[in-house]
Amino acid sequence: MQPFTLHRPTQLNEAARLAASGAEFITGGTDMTQLMKEWVRTPPQLVDLDPLLDNRIDTASDGLRIGAGARMEEVAIHPDVARIAPAVCEALLESASPQVRNLATMGGNLLQRTRCGYFRDVGVEACNKRRPGSGCAAIGGENRIHAVLGTSDQCIATQPSDLAVALVALEARLQLIGADGARSLPVEDLYRTWDTQPDQETTLKPGEIITAIEISRSALARGSRYLKVRDRAAFEWALLSAAVALDTADGEIRAARIAMGGVGTKPWRMRNVEVALAGQPVNPETFAAAAAHATDGAVARAGNDYKVKLMPTVLARALAIAGGAA
């Protein structure tokens, strides 16, 4: 690991100024320290946000406010979160191990880097995420876990956060603070696709800090579920996942919000599926017909064409679970 200077500021605005001048943030450190040990990341300066971030889980009449410093495990087992937005709890419990969840923060989970093996192997030169302009080894290499949506000739890596997929489906928002002040941002707008500059993974401004996650109360959120498909039962990233939020009444789907993970360069909102579900009866035929739209625009490679085949099946299953028809 490269030597580094660790800053421990006493105010968030001080932390933001340090990061705007080139330092990088660390909180739980479950991803950053691994990348530093492997020499994938070599920041000369780190800013410890952990003592500064809000770690509360607050419930109000209009929904949830979760501090970015809250530990994933605390949120995953919180009864109010389970009641208001069950997909969030399910996504968190499907993430990593209890030991990691007790250390990792909510904000840090959203900003974890891709699991692409070429990105995480400094012996591979062709990685536009590590070395812009060097190429993408995954396109012609081992790409079984890689994306089929939002890809380009620059990069086909997936965004790995289970939590982010659930939050996109719930239309959650982030509260941010930076050198220019505070702002609010939909979680869906946090991530970029890889058309250009795949080394720039988010839309955060230099020095900007995630301070909280906000989830509105709604019938959609209450009816949300998360389904994950992976190679093994524990501590594994998604090959495919689906976060489904349904508002149903009298056997009819009044509204739907859908996102999938493991298939896109960012958590992928399935708007075509949502349109196909609205106003339709709650039954397996509806779910199968709507889920067929999940692959719209998908581009598979030699190693991951199975994802295109599995996407409608996984999504139809998630819809059946959320709709009580499983």
Using the predicted structure, report yes or no on whether residue 234 has a pLDDT greater than 90.
Answer: no
Q: Per-residue pLDDT tens for 272-284?
A: 999 999 999 999 9
The pLDDT score that the predictor gives to residue 255 is: 97
pLDDT top residue among 55 and 1: 55
Residue 308 has a pLDDT of: 97
Whether the Cβ atoms of residue 148 and residue 298 lie closer than 8 Å to each other: yes
The pLDDT confidence band at residue 59, using thresholds 50, 70 and 90, is very high
Half-sphere exposure of 88 (CA within 13 A, CB side): 34
| pLDDT, average across residues 72-79 | 97
Nearest to 102 by CA among 68, 74, 65, 66: 74
Confidence band of 326 (pLDDT split at 50, 70, 90):
low
What are the b/e assignments for 23-41, b being 16+ CB within 10 Å? Answer: bebbbbbbbbeebbeeebb
Mode of pairing for the β-strands spanning 57-60 and 63-67: antiparallel
Compute the distance between CA of residue 259 and CA of residue 267 in angstroms, rounded to an integer: 6
Phi-psi region of 140 (alpha: psi -120 to 50; beta: other; left: phi over 0): alpha
Strands 45-48 and 24-26 come out as parallel
CA distance 238 to 230: 5
Look at domain 1-326 and name its CATH class. alpha beta
Q: Which helix (H) or strand (E) holds 28?
A: none
Strand stretches in 21-141, DSSP E: 24-26, 45-48, 57-60, 63-67
* Rg, the chain, Cα only: 19
CA distances from 193 to 36, 107, 201, 214 (A): 25, 20, 8, 23
Task: Give pLDDT tens digits for 284-313.
Answer: 999 999 999 999 999 999 999 999 999 999
In this prediction, residues 174-180 reach a mean pLDDT of 91
pLDDT band at 183 (very low <50, low <70, confident <90, very high): very high
Beta-carbon-side half-sphere exposure of residue 26 (alpha carbons within 13 Å): 22
Report residue 218 as tokens: 């709604």
Mean pLDDT for 19-33 is 89
Q: Span 261-265, mean pLDDT?
A: 96
Residue 280's pLDDT is what?
Answer: 97
CA 326 to chain centre: 26
